[in-house]
Amino acid sequence: MHLDAKLSVLALATFVGAVGHAAEVTTPTTKTFGLVIHGGAGVIERKTMSAEVEAQYRVALTQSRDAGYAILDEGGTALDAVIAAIKILEDFPLFNAGKGAVLTADGTCELDASIMDGRTQAAGAVAGIRQIKNPITLARAVMEKSEHVMLTGDGAERFAKQQGYELVGNEYFQTEFRRKQLEAAKKREAAKPTSALSVPGVFPVALADQDHFTRTARYGTVGCVALDKSGNLAAGTSTGGMTNKKFGRVGDAPIIGAGTYANNATCAVSATGWGEYFIRVGVARDIAAQMEYKGSRVTDAAKVTLAKVSALGGDGGVICIDKDGNVALPFNSAGMYRGYKLSTGAATIEIFGPR
C-alpha cells in the first residue's frame, strides 16, 4: 500500500476509535487534510435542549466547519481555515465568544482569544478585550504584526486601532440570555458564605453548589484545529470566559500551551472547559508533549491529559488533529458542541455525550 494511503487508513482507524462511533468514509487517495471545531463543553443535555435550539446549534456548527474546510480544499492554509471557522462562531450569539459572550461580574463582556501556527510556532493572543468584534482576528494580528505574543485590555485595543480595526461598543456582545445567567450566578454567590472561599486546597460544601453553576452556565467557547494540504497545522480558541468572572480574570483560552497549541511535529489542540484547571495542567502543550517525548498517539495523549484535569476536579474537553490527520475529541463533561470534516470523507456534527 502506498505510504500516504496507509497513513490515511491509520488516520481513519484512530478517528473512529476516538469518537466511539463509525462514520461514512471514502477510500483516501491523497494525504489527509481537514479540520475539527468545537463550540464549548459543559452540561449540555438532550433533555434540556429544545429541537429548535439544537437545530440552530447544528446550523452554526455546520457553517463554521464547512467554511473552514472549503478553504483547505481550495489549497488554503490551516491558519486561514481556523480564522474563518472561528469568526463564524464568534458572530453567532449562541456561543460564548464574540457576540453572545458571557458577562463579567460588572455586566460587561471581556473577551480572550489565541492562535498558533504549527509551521513556525508563531503565536498571538489577546485577553480582556471589550471592543473588537472578532477577537480571533486580533490574536492573529498580534502574531503577525507585533513583536509580542499576548496583549491585554486597553493596550490590545490601542494596538487594534493602530492596525485599522474599527472598535464596537460593548453592548454589541451583550445578550439577554447572558444577562439572566449573570443574575442567577450572583444570586447563588450571595447565598454562599464567603469564609468557604478561604480554605485552601479544600472543596467546601458551599462551593459545590457554586461549582455546579460554574459547570452549567459557561459553555460556548469556540475553537478550531486544522491540517492543510501542505501538512501545516494551526489551532485557535476564542471565548468570553466564565459568567460572573471578576478582577480581570483570564482563562486558558488565550494562554498558549493551555487552551491552544500547534506544532507541525505533533498536533494542534484547542481546549474548552473550566479554564483554571486547564491552565494548571497546561492541557494543550501536555498533549503535544506526550506525542513528542513518548511517541503517544493523539487519542491516547488527549485522554491522559484530560484525566489529569478530571483528577483535579475540572471538566471540559479538547479537540485535536495530528500531523497525519488523526483526530481526537474527548470530553469529560455531559456534552460538547463539536464537528469535523476530513478529506477522507469523514464528517460529523455532534452535541451530546454518550451518557
Of residues 239 and 348, the one with the C-beta less far from ligand ASP: 239
> Does residue 40 belong to the site contacting ligand ASP (CB under 6 A)?
yes
At its nearest, how many Å lie between ligand ASP and the CB of residue 3?
A: 37
Query: In angstroms, what is the minimal distance from the CB of 341 to ligand ASP?
Result: 22
302 touches 157 (CB < 8 A): no
219 belongs to the binding site for ligand ASP (CB under 6 A): yes
**Per CB under 6 A, which of residues 224..253 are in contact with ligand ASP?**
239, 241-242, 251-253
The residue annotated as part of the active site, out of 221, 266, 299, 348, is 221
Name the nearest CA neighbour of 335 among 43, 131, 28, 48.
43
Considering only 87, 218, 297, 341, the residue that binds ligand ASP (CB under 6 A) is: 218
Minimum distance between the CB of residue 282 and ligand ASP, rounded to whole angstroms?
Answer: 14
Q: Please, is 107 exposed, middle or buried when counting C-beta atoms within 10 Å of its C-beta (0-12, 13-18, 19+)?
A: middle
- Least CB distance to ligand ASP at residue 316 (A): 6
DSSP state of 221: -
Q: Which is nearer to ligand ASP, 57 or 219 (CB)?
A: 219
For residues 84 and 90, the answer to whether their CB atoms sit within 8 Å is no
Residue 99's CB is within 10 A of a number of other CB atoms, namely 20
29 is catalytic: no
At 195, give phi and psi (nearest 5°). -60, -25
315 binds ligand ASP, rule: CB under 6 A: no
- Determine if 260 is a binding residue for ligand ASP (CB under 6 A): no
Cα torsion 317, 322, 327, 332 to 10°: value is -20
CB 239 within 8 A of CB 222: yes
210 vs 272 by CB, closer to ligand ASP = 272
Element housing 297 (H / E):
none
Stretch that binds ligand ASP, among 45-53, 152-160, 226-234, 271-279 (CB under 6 A): 271-279
Size of the site for ligand ASP (CB under 6 A): 13
Alpha helices in 218-330 (DSSP H): 275-281, 283-294, 298-312
Angle of helix 78-91 relative to helix 51-73, nearest 10 degrees? 160
Given the rule CB under 6 A, which of 70-78, 174-182, 206-214, 269-277 is the region that contacts ligand ASP? 269-277
Task: 295-298: list long-range contacts, CB under 8 Å, 24+ apart.
Answer: 297/14, 297/326, 298/14, 298/18, 298/267, 298/322, 298/326, 298/327, 298/328
Candidate residues 131, 174, 216, 221; the one interacting with ligand ASP per rule CB under 6 A: 221
Work out whether 28 is an interface residue with ligand ASP (CB under 6 A).
Answer: no
- Can residue 272 be called a binding residue for ligand ASP (CB under 6 A)? yes
Which residues are part of the catalytic machinery?
221
What residues line the site for ligand ASP (CB under 6 A)?
A: 40, 218-219, 221, 239, 241-242, 251-253, 272-273, 275
